[in-house]
Structure 1
Amino acid sequence: MPLTPNIPRLLDELSHLATISAHPAPAVTRVLFSEQDLAARAWLLGLAENAGLTHRADPAGNLFITLEGTDPTLPAVATGSHTDAIPNAGAYDGVVGVLGGLEALRTIAASGEKPRRSIELIMFTAEEPTRFGIGCLGSRLMAGTLTPDEARQLRDPEGRSLEQLRPAQYQGNLEQVSLITAHCSLGTYSHFLELHIEQGPHLDASGTDIGLVEKIAAPAAFRLTFTGTGGHAGAVLMPGRHDAFLAAAETALAVEKAALDSPSDDTVGTTGVIEVKPGAINSIPCHAMMEIDFRDTDLTARAAAISGIRQAAESTCHRRGVTLDWQQINSDPPAICSQEILAVAEKHAVELGYSHVRMISRAYHDSLFMARLCPTAMLFIPCLNGWSHRPDEYASPEAIAKGTTLLTQTLLTLASP
């Protein structure tokens, strides 16, 4: 018989967590180490203690809640996601994976089943880039793709560092961060499985219960600064102009063209930031800064497209007499998910009578970095119209119940070899 999570309890907890927000309902805002983020963390740990589960934290603020197995010396099976939320977001992104994971641990504990491996729920610090401009801060540190030195250099919009913002319970020397040397050395975890809303329209549009994620696309991000020559909009004739914004505009079109011309179906390119100076209607732009997000599941295709964009930008700038500064913000490789985990999840989905489909995650998650540490996969549930990162984000009780039930069964199987 499949284990049955307490879905009414889970739904009540999802509703309560949505009220811990810097903005009124239905919006949800919980920025890293804000009053609301700290309150949510304390509340989550209270739930864990009430369930008799042990917990700990690392110096970056990642939280670990553990159901101990009969052989805790074995690498643990892990699940988890995040509870931080960008300003004016919704109630389900990340949260379903954290509270659904907690419900899975409580369900297994209450069932009398004795998994051999421990099962650990991870609440990752700062999956959202709101505070420091970099996503998946906690899982990057755990995987070692962001070093403690690099973490110490991060600043929020007010110029504050991670060490300055961390509350007392997370204080520690980031240089001796135990998440690399102890918690998350290779072999710490045997498997990692993240439950998440799809943040896309495919499952909802097709009426499919579960998405089994086979690949996670990864972004490369760049900041381009164009420096031209300013002047009066009426006094400088067109042949003599060195317009920084027009060079940036041509480059933005090159980003779109590179994505459209890519041989990979999963290539997407976005120019999401553009700043122009001096910003006056009667002044020729002397400065433009743009930021590009370019992602794919095919690293070769992504690299070729980015190379083409850079060549196009340099050619445009040469022709227009504008200088270009090209800076890489980050460049993460895509992840291929574990076929072993997916096979176990698919087997249970069939047993439970859930419709399912293999798919790609074009948004990236903490799973992208956990895949550096152990075999990793994701379970998607539908969200209404694919809407996410907005107050009307919605996952139905039925979708949450199915995702949590499948997560519970899969974790138990993985932890009981």
Structure 2
Amino acid sequence: MLQVNHERVAKLLQGLASFTDSEEGVTRLAYSPLDKKAQSWLLEQVQDLHLQIRTDAVGNVFLRRDGKQQLLPPVATGSHLDTVIHGGAYDGMCGVVGALEALYMLQDEELGRSIEVIIFRAEESSRFGFATMGSKLLTGSAVPEQLNKGAKKGDISFIEALREWGCNPDAYRDAVIAPGSYKCFAELHIEQGKVLEQTQHQLGIVHNIAAPTRFKIHIKGVADHSGATPMGMRRDALVSAAKLILAVNEAAETEKANGSVGTVGVVDVEPGSINVVPGAVTLWVDVRGVDKASIARVLQSIREQAENVAVCDGVGVQIEMLTADSPVALDKALAAQSEAICTEKGFSFLHMNSGAGHDAMHMTKICPTTMLFVPCRAGISHNPAEYASTENICRGIEVLAEVLRREAN
């Protein structure tokens, strides 16, 4: 097997980071023109790999290196290229670039099975309110209509975006991959947390992935003049919303020992004028964890507080569920294999869980799946300060390439 090329890895990551809609960090939303330009640029850079390229009905891209036994289920790897608003240059890109670099490393190897690198569409929820959309559609975990109600104000719907991308949303069933179609799936990713850095481990071997439950809380009050309406006569939707923001935080705080977390990431206020008492507010809530019972307790606490606020404040409160994914356990045998490879190479490793969701969580529905984490500085992610050293990334690529080599033979 060839050596990992540090210079090429750094060049590809830096090149992808240049495709951004913002001066601060990287903003490259799913299904946007920049998303397509970044992908096209990357595919041009790796033409010398001579991969077969296909795109499915919802925009996921598959780059295939044929093995000697092409009728056997291939080995799969990959990640995503889209980012959050003002995000970083490593989340997702590390897994795509790492997968392609692994293929470079395997160029001198004769492999029994084919290897496919998957570029999943719309892993981030920044544009359409749903995460891991490409892998959900690929594994039959969702249909376009289900994912069509979360677009931000002023943007087109998900189905409209599919059509703009050149996809046919009516043919979404053609994108579904049946269980057993892949031998296994492996995803390389930055940790997006502080554990590896603080414990001084070089790699993380992931065993469980926390799953997001996402919903909107709609609060309906009465819009009134801010000067002419006495304090005791108001039904201020934003004041009620503030109580529910605290309720989300408190519900998650009580379950922190079980690893559950809760976040209100977006607050939409209407009419949004300084001299008008807010009449309507929508909170976008993300609750996640690896313990189903703990997540259920967080959600129940939020529902109870929503009912209390509605009664005490005289406002309407409605919860609109967007998605409720289940925590996912990854393949133990593949994790053991990664441990053996790390030991052989002299890399320190930590068995751990992922607090963030990933495309890998849906791939478990169709094949054994594993994830490898590399440290990121100060655990910062979804932020312009997101950073992972080329050395750390390439160490992860070395292990990934060996996993792919062993699984393809």
TM-score, reference length from structure 2: 0.92
Q: What do residues 261-294 of structure 1 show as CA deviations (whole Å, max 9, x unaligned)?
A: 2275211011222233444555543322212111
Following superposition, the deviation at residue 310 of structure 1 comes to 0.2
Report matched runs for 1:294-333 at 5 Å: 294-333=287-326
Q: 1: CA distance between counterparts of 2:257 and 2:134?
A: 30
Kept after mapping to 2: 8 A contact 1:92/1:197: yes
**Is 2:104 the counterpart of 1:111?**
no
Q: 1: CA distance between counterparts of 2:147 and 2:310?
A: 34
Aligned to 1:28, the other structure's residue is in SS state coil
Report matched runs for 1:176-187 at 5 Å: 176-180=172-176, 184-187=177-180
C-alpha spacing 1:373/1:52, structure 2 compared with 1 (3 Å): same
Q: What do residues 50-101 of structure 1 show as CA deviations (whole Å, max 9, x unaligned)?
A: 2122111112111101121222222221110011223332221111110110
2:93 partner amino acid:
V
1:323 partner amino acid:
G
Aligned to 2:183, the other structure's residue is in SS state strand
Following superposition, the deviation at residue 369 of structure 1 comes to 1.5
**Is 2:348 the counterpart of 1:352?**
no
Following superposition, the deviation at residue 155 of structure 1 comes to 5.0
Aligned to 1:34: 32
C-alpha spacing 1:280/1:12, structure 2 compared with 1 (3 Å): closer
Indicate the larger mover: 61-70 or 267-276. Answer: 267-276
Aligned to 2:201: 208
Following superposition, the deviation at residue 214 of structure 1 comes to 0.9
Identity of aligned pairs, percent?
37
2:371 partner amino acid:
M
**Is 2:223 the counterpart of 1:225?**
no
Q: 2: CA distance between counterparts of 1:267 and 1:153?
A: 26
C-alpha spacing 1:278/1:7, structure 2 compared with 1 (3 Å): closer
Kept after mapping to 2: 8 A contact 1:101/1:121: yes
Kept after mapping to 2: 8 A contact 1:148/1:177: no
Kept after mapping to 1: 8 A contact 2:221/2:278: yes
C-alpha spacing 1:169/1:72, structure 2 compared with 1 (3 Å): farther
Kept after mapping to 1: 8 A contact 2:31/2:165: no
Aligned to 2:405, the other structure's residue is in SS state helix
Q: 2: CA distance between counterparts of 1:207 and 1:311?
A: 42
C-alpha spacing 1:68/1:170, structure 2 compared with 1 (3 Å): farther
Aligned to 1:133: 129
Indicate the larger mover: 84-93 or 99-108. Answer: 84-93
Q: CA RMSD in A?
A: 2.4
Aligned to 1:387: 380
Kept after mapping to 1: 8 A contact 2:184/2:368: yes
Q: 2: CA distance between counterparts of 1:306 and 1:362?
A: 17
Aligned to 1:187, the other structure's residue is in SS state coil
Aligned to 2:381, the other structure's residue is in SS state coil
1:136 partner amino acid:
T
Aligned to 2:258, the other structure's residue is in SS state coil
Q: 2: CA distance between counterparts of 1:127 and 1:79?
A: 15
Aligned to 1:265: 258
Aligned to 1:7: 6
Q: 1: CA distance between counterparts of 2:157 and 2:402?
A: 41
Which of the numbers 141, 146, 150 marks the counterpart of 2:146?
150
**Is 2:49 the counterpart of 1:51?**
yes
2:58 partner amino acid:
A
Kept after mapping to 1: 8 A contact 2:209/2:329: yes
**Is 2:289 the counterpart of 1:291?**
no
Report matched runs for 1:68-83 at 5 Å: 68-83=66-81
Aligned to 1:86, the other structure's residue is in SS state coil
Kept after mapping to 2: 8 A contact 1:224/1:324: yes
Aligned to 1:89, the other structure's residue is in SS state coil
Following superposition, the deviation at residue 232 of structure 1 comes to 4.8
Indicate the larger mover: 347-356 or 231-240. Answer: 231-240
1:89 partner amino acid:
G
Q: 2: CA distance between counterparts of 1:293 and 1:16?
A: 32
2:54 partner amino acid:
R
Aligned to 2:84, the other structure's residue is in SS state strand
Kept after mapping to 2: 8 A contact 1:263/1:301: no
Which of the numbers 356, 365, 368 marks the counterpart of 2:358?
365
**Is 2:14 the counterpart of 1:21?**
no
Q: 2: CA distance between counterparts of 1:155 and 1:323?
A: 23
Q: What do residues 147-196 of structure 1 show as CA deviations (whole Å, max 9, x unaligned)?
A: 1433566756444344544578843353354211xxx1111112111001
Aligned to 2:58, the other structure's residue is in SS state coil
Aligned to 1:111, the other structure's residue is in SS state coil
1:187 partner amino acid:
G
Q: 1: CA distance between counterparts of 2:295 and 2:239?
A: 25
C-alpha spacing 1:6/1:165, structure 2 compared with 1 (3 Å): same
Q: 2: CA distance between counterparts of 1:195 and 1:284?
A: 48
Query: Which stretches in structure 1 are left out of the alignment for 5+ residues?
Result: none
Following superposition, the deviation at residue 233 of structure 1 comes to 5.0
